[in-house]
A = this chain, B = another copy of it.
Amino acid sequence: MYTFTNDYSEGAHPKILELMTKYNFEQNTGYGLDRHCEKARELIRDWIDMPSADIHFIPGGTQTNLLVVSSFLRPHQCVISADTGHINVHETGAIEATGHKVVTVAGKDGKLTPESIQSAVDSHVGEHMVKPGMVYISNSTELGTIYTKAELKSIRDCCLKNGLLLYMDGARIGAALTSSINDLFIEELARLVDLFYIGGTKNGALFGEALVICRDDLKEDFRYLMKQRAAMPAKGFVMGMQFEVLMRDGLYLELAEHANAMAKEVADIFREKGYGFYAPPCTNQVFPILPDGLARKLMSQFGCQEIARIDERNTCIRFVTSWATRPESIGYLRAYLSGLTA
């Protein structure tokens, strides 16, 4: 049986394990100051064409998010997020535990707009309310959608106008960049945000996210903050090795492209059957809206999560593909569904 529960069910791309095995007895400096991390940083700087970027490897996404928010906001400042944002919903209050409020606005297919950001800014006036200091967006979003170049530019402008930092959660940035509808190059993206991260965990690594700090004035003392938030593992080189592999020869995008291709087939299966979607499918997450009975069967058979009750008869569930999804698993899903609906 194959599950479509998420994109972190398998281990790592085999090349990663190979490199780790090859260098297993090499002695490395601790805490991310080793040559593998340095090599991976170089490869990332090359990729994003930003030689001045600071790059830090952090074990997980929630950790990166709480670290970024708490490092760059003063105590009275809040971060603005879509209501569906990971930091708002699925981090057990990790942001608030560092002292900051998450101010939410209704997202549009999981995305923020300049208008929604401006409304959050405009409704926070005066010293009795928190002061917006940062905007959090994810790309691809929690609903699998992506930001176009024009959308990201307009958000950037809104942030500049209002003195807000712009931070992009890139847990699934590979899926965004390789979406068939994407028009945003990584070099552009890196110039439109203040900081973002390149997600490893959901795209072929065992764990690890590469935080990219683009803005000079955010760089000072960041390693202190990492250590304080327990985000600086002793064997940082294990993350360095993984990103060294992922960033070589376009492997990172290749893996994401594969996940997207698999997801496209999943979406096609449901589209062909006449089902609609909770959000337009374009990356490795697909959100079909299905009759309750069918939804239940698929959840049971393929480990899908329920996302929302749509109405009295229909439910949205989530299919996630990954770098490790095999075409035959898609074939099995197609066959299973045909058997059910024949």
> What residues make up the interface of A, taking CB atoms closer than 8 Å to B?
2-3, 5-6, 8-12, 14, 17, 20-21, 23-30, 59-63, 66, 70-71, 74-76, 78, 89-94, 96-102, 127-131, 201-202, 206-207, 221, 223-235, 238, 324
Contacts and interface: CB of A to CB of B under 8 A. Distances in A.
A76 B17 contact: no
Contacts of A233: 59-60, 201, 207
Nearest to A63: B230
A3 to B, nearest CB: 5
A231 to B, nearest CB: 7
Given A60-B230, A93-B228, A225-B75, A10 B25 contact: yes
Contacts of A129: 89-90, 92
Contact of A131 (B23, B25, B76, B221): B221
Nearest to A21: B17
Nearest to A71: B75
A82 to B, nearest CB: 16
Residue among A202, A225, A233 facing the most chain B CB atoms (10 A cut-off): A233
Nearest to A90: B128
A223 B130 CA distance: 11
A11 B24 CA distance: 5
